Structure 1
Amino acid sequence: MSRPPSLLKGAIVLALLACATLGATLVWQQYCQQRIIAAEQTLKARALLTVLPADSYDNQPLEAVLQLKEPALATSTLVTGYLATLGGKPHAVVLQSRTQGYDGPLDLLIGIDSNGRLLGVKVLQHNETPGLGARIAEPSNPLMQGFTGLGRTTTPDAAWALRKDQGQFDQIAGATVTSRAVVNAVHEALRYFDEHAGTFAGVKTDD
């Protein structure tokens, strides 16, 4: 039995509306995803400027993505890395490290010069408790500021720990877990750099 023309026309209209709605939803999702990616890149670019002195590179480091081998370390994982060049030669790297904080994942940007010394450490993302572990992201935080200039040649491996763990670093008051995680992640990034320095010197980047 055939449907009345009015019902058939209504079904067609509903189908067209459903297709249009689905198409609009997909386009909106794609648009939002692109905006999220762009926002993340902007956040990384701004953070990158704080761990790389302006005179330490003349390229676009975010466009020079390093191919990291065996990025899973003892207490952290290297998510990605970027190469900073000066005069066409490798001059520094920025490693994005992810470790486990007290309340969730903690992402760091760690700048290291060609001599294996820290140019700066910056918190990229965190879920730490406001007023406690969250203070790790404050620009004036003495723990983060104290990393600059250090390296494994000037600071022996045994010293890369909190004072309460017989190391040389003061923890953030009330945030032992967060402080310990950051110190360990920075130390592991330095060790990784030292072990792969030859690779970085002749680095191949993703285009």
Structure 2
Amino acid sequence: MSILTTNPMIKNGLLLGLFALCCTGLVALVNALTSDTILLQQQKQLTLTLNQIIPTELHDNVLSEQCILVNSPQLLGTKADLPAYLAYKGEQPVAIAIEAIAPDGYNGAIKLIIGVDNTGTILGVRTLFHQETPGLGDKIDLRKSDWVTHFSGKRFTGNSSDWKVKKDGGQFDQFTGATITPRAYVKAIANAMTFVEQHRQALYQSHYACEANHE
């Protein structure tokens, strides 16, 4: 008589193990088949975002292909390297799109990206990731509110005293019932702009390194 017929626990265990193995194989197959599609979608979204914060009429290069890595825990909000994208027109540098982190959001870190030209004027800002409270702090998301568009055209001169929400004596609106999120967001933009102002020439002279870093 077979051991499997006399010991249901062994039989069930083997069946469960076989089922788990099949599921693992199926997940691996799906990941393999969809990884290229996911990568393509991520690249399309990146291109769309970059062209929103540095309009296409201002540059003639592919922004995502001219990416460098930057690091400044104090001004960019994280110890990790972050990407910055260089915009050129006729081989002349005209603008930078730089990612930054607002580490002090209400529900955690907020990732954003800022486009800025050589005069220190913001061309656009977008939120890349956040976990802020729906209906309150999530107004930093363009799908919820146009609040982030109000930074466009603002010039940063190196003096961040007015780069605060109005409740703190600055020029930017806070949200009704939510001040922590916009306060953290505005501070992150001011810090990132300070970083760009301090390192603009060095950034333009940097070697493209994003792809090498991700291999």
Normalised by the length of structure 2, the TM-score is: 0.76
| Identity of matched residues, % | 31
What is the distance in 2 between the residues matched to 1:173 and 1:33? 41
2:170 alignment partner, SS class: coil
List aligned pairs for 1:148-187, cutoff 5 A. Answer: 148-153=152-157, 156-187=159-190
Aligned to 1:71: 72
Deviation at 1:22, TM superposition (A): 5.8
Q: Is the 8 A contact 2:98 2:115 kept in 1?
A: yes
Aligned to 1:192: 195
* Pairing 1:133–2:134 present: no
RMSD of aligned alpha carbons: 2.9
Q: How many residues are paired up?
A: 193
Shift in alpha-carbon separation, 1:148–1:21, aligned structure 2, 3 A: closer
Aligned to 1:46: 48
Deviation at 1:179, TM superposition (A): 0.3
Normalised by the length of structure 1, the TM-score is: 0.79
List aligned pairs for 1:1-150, cutoff 5 A. Answer: 25-68=27-70, 70-74=71-75, 76-77=77-78, 79-100=82-103, 101-138=105-142, 141=145, 143-150=147-154
What is the distance in 1 between the residues matched to 2:189 and 2:20? 52
Q: Is the 8 A contact 1:93 1:112 kept in 2?
A: yes
User: Where do 5+ consecutive residues of structure 1 fail to align?
Assistant: 1-13
The CA deviation string for residues 158-202 of structure 1, in whole angstroms up to 9 with x for no partner, is 111112212221112122111011101110110010111111232
User: Where do 5+ consecutive residues of structure 2 fail to align?
Assistant: 1-14
Deviation at 1:108, TM superposition (A): 1.1
Deviation at 1:57, TM superposition (A): 1.0
Q: Is the 8 A contact 2:75 2:194 kept in 1?
A: no
AA aligned to 1:80 is: P
What is the distance in 2 between the residues matched to 1:114 and 1:23? 52
The CA deviation string for residues 44-97 of structure 1, in whole angstroms up to 9 with x for no partner, is 2222221111211111101111131x3323572363111111111211111122
AA aligned to 1:138 is: L
What is the distance in 2 between the residues matched to 1:163 and 1:18? 56
